[in-house]
Structure 1
C-alpha cells in the first residue's frame, strides 16, 4: 500500500481539513490506528467494518485496515441501525469502527470524529476482496460488491492516464462521500497516489465550495455529483476565480440546462464521468467536448448487446450472488441502455434499460419523458417512473403548479407520452451518493 499511496516526501501536504495534513503525519496516524485495531482483534485476513462519516478518522482507519492485511467493509454513516445490523450479520467483520463523538454540524463535509473500535466476531473475511461496498440502491435493494487490491490499484493507475484529471501539485475540492467509488478512488486514492491535495470545503454550500477553491493559489478541480452542480449553478461567485480549472461530476446524467447554467456562470469545462461501484470509472468526457457521449477510460472495453451497455470485468464483483444477467463471461451487464459509435468508440448512455414501456401499444422511453420534464422552466429535478401508468415526481425550482406543468408538457410531448400522474415534492428522495431514487414504491411513500 505504501508504494501506491505514500509516494513522495513526508512533508508533502495531502489533506487540508482545513489545517494541512502531510504524508508523514498521515503515516504516523495510520500506524497508531493499526495498533488499536490489532488490540481490538483485527487480524490479517479478517475484516473491519467502518461506519464513520467523512473525516480524518475515516481515512486513517481505512488505510490502517489495508495496512493490516485486512478487508475494509464500508458502511455509509447515514444508514440506519437496522440496515447496519443486517449488513454486519451477513459480513461478520472482526471489528466495527464507529464514532463515539462527532462534531461540526450537519452541513460539514468533513467532521471531527473520535472513533471507538468494538470487537464483533473472530471469523476471517468472507472473501479475498480488499474492499466491500454496498451499491447505491437507487433502483432497488443494495447489492454487496467486492473489489480486489489489484482492481483498486489498476483503477488508480487508470486515472493517471485520463486527460483532464487534477495533476500533481493541484487540488481536488472533494464533495462526494469517500464510502462510494467516486470519492474513494477518484478522490482519496488517486489524490494520495498522484500528489494532489484533497480539500473538502468546510460546509456543503455553494459559497463554501467557492471559498475552498479560492483558499489556495494552485489550480483546483471540483469533484462532485449532479446535486453539487446545482449548488454552484445557483451561487454567484464573489469575483474571478482563476484557480478554478473545471468541475467533474459522476453519477447520473446531467440535464443540458443545468450544464449550460454552470458553464455560462463559471466559464470552465463541466466534465462528466460514467462509472459503477462494480468497476469504478468506465468512461469520461472531462472537457465537455462530447456531451452526452463519453470516451472509454484507458484499459476499459465497452460494448453494446441488445441495446444494453456491457463493460469488461474479468471476475464477478458480486459477493454471494450468482446472476448471469448481471455478470457473465468477463462482461458486466450495466442495465444501462446505450450505444457505442463504431468509428470513434464514443459511448452514449441513454438511461436505464428498463425505461422502455408500452402505452396503448406505443413504445415510450421514460428517459425521454424525464428529460423533457427536467428541462421545463421552474423544475429543479424530476424522476419519471412507470407505476400503473407514466408517473412524474417533480421538485420545483420556484413557483410551479401541476396545472402549469401539465400545460407545458402538452406543448412538448405527444399525448401517449405525457405523465398520467404528476406529484410536486419539496425535495425528491436521493441515495447516499446523491442520485435520485427511482424506486416507484419509495417515490410513492415520499409523495404521501
Structure 2
C-alpha cells in the first residue's frame, strides 16, 4: 500500500496508465476511449473519491453495471492506495448483505446504468458512493480482493498485491499466442472475474492492445461488435464460445 502523501505516479499500475500516447486507443464500447481521455477522467475520479474521504488503506467494495465508469473507478481507487473489493453485478440481496457484512468495507461504490433490454456494458454510468457503517481499513497490503464463484458454498476472498499482478502480467506477456501490441481484443467476461481483468484488460494495457467490449451479450450483438471493431482475438469462457457456436437460446 502506498502512503497517502504520494502522488498519481507512485502506485503499482501507474506505468500501465502512463506509458501510451494520449491519442492511442485504450478501449472501445459504443465509443473509443483514448489514453489521454482515460488519464483525465481517472484523475477527476481521484478528486471525487478523495472528497469522500477515500485514501491509502481505505477499503472499497466496487460493484455495479459493467462500464468504463467502473474501470476508471478501479484505476482511480488503486492510484489512491485503496484496497478494492471487486464484486460481481449478479450478487444481490441477502448474498450481497452477507458479503459486505463479512468483509466490512468502509465504502460501497456502485454504478447505475441507463437503458433497457439485454445491454450488458455501458460507456458511462452514474457513480454512487456510500460510506458503510462499521467498515474497517485494510489489514493487509492487498490492492485487489476478488471473490470465487461460490460454487462450493459462500464466495471466498482472494487477495492480490500490486507486485503479484505485475508478475502475472509479465508471465502473460511471455505466453505464445497472447495478444500483443496493436491487437484488438474482444473481452466477453466481466472484469470482476480475474482472467478478464488481468489476462484481458490489464494485459492489453501492458502490451499496447485495444480492449473491446460488446454492449450486449446476445450472439448476434457480439458478432456485430467483433466485425465492427475489427477484433482479431476473442477472450471468453467455454460458455461464451458455446453460445457463439450454437446460437441464441
| TM-score exceeds 0.5 | yes
1:316-327 equivalence runs, <5 A: none
1:235 positional shift = 4.2
1:140 positional shift = 2.5
1:210-359 equivalence runs, <5 A: 210-217=223-230, 220-235=232-247
Contact 1:5 1:189 in 2 (8 A): no
Give 1:32's aligned residue: 44
Q: Is 1:41 aligned to 2:41, yes or no?
A: no
Post-superposition CA distance 1:312-358 (Å, at most 9, x none) = xxxxxxxxxxxxxxxxxxxxxxxxxxxxxxxxxxxxxxxxxxxxxxx
Q: TM-score, with normalisation over the residues of structure 2?
A: 0.88
Query: The residue matched to 1:215 in structure 2 has which SS?
Result: helix
Contact 1:94 1:123 in 2 (8 A): yes
CA 1:131–1:197 in 2, change beyond 3 Å: closer, same or farther?
A: same
Query: The residue matched to 1:43 in structure 2 has which SS?
Result: coil
Count of aligned positions: 235
Greater RCO between the two (CA within 8 Å, min separation 6)? Answer: 2
Q: 1:105 aligns with which of 116, 132, 147?
A: 116
Q: Is 1:84 aligned to 2:96, yes or no?
A: yes
Query: The residue matched to 1:58 in structure 2 has which SS?
Result: helix
Contact 1:52 1:77 in 2 (8 A): yes
CA 1:181–1:103 in 2, change beyond 3 Å: closer, same or farther?
A: same
Q: Is 1:11 aligned to 2:10, yes or no?
A: no
Query: Aligned equivalents of 2:14 and 2:91: distance in 1?
Result: 31
Which 4+ residue blocks in structure 1 deviate beyond 4 angstroms?
none
Query: The residue matched to 1:49 in structure 2 has which SS?
Result: strand
Give 1:326's aligned residue: none
Query: Aligned equivalents of 2:161 and 2:41: distance in 1?
Result: 24
Query: Aligned equivalents of 2:233 and 2:119: distance in 1?
Result: 19
Contact 2:17 2:35 in 1 (8 A): no
How large is the RMSD of aligned CA atoms in angstroms? 1.8
CA 1:231–1:102 in 2, change beyond 3 Å: closer, same or farther?
A: same
Query: Aligned equivalents of 1:22 and 1:29: distance in 2?
Result: 11
1:71 positional shift = 0.6
Query: The residue matched to 2:64 in structure 1 has which SS?
Result: coil
Contact 1:13 1:22 in 2 (8 A): yes
CA 1:184–1:106 in 2, change beyond 3 Å: closer, same or farther?
A: farther
Greater fraction helix: 2
Q: Is 1:129 aligned to 2:142, yes or no?
A: yes
Q: TM-score, with normalisation over the residues of structure 1?
A: 0.50
Query: Aligned equivalents of 1:33 and 1:234: distance in 2?
Result: 41
Greater fraction strand: 1
Which segment drifts farther, 5-14 or 143-152? Answer: 5-14
Query: The residue matched to 2:51 in structure 1 has which SS?
Result: helix
Post-superposition CA distance 1:99-144 (Å, at most 9, x none) = 3x32233522312421111122563213211101110112322111
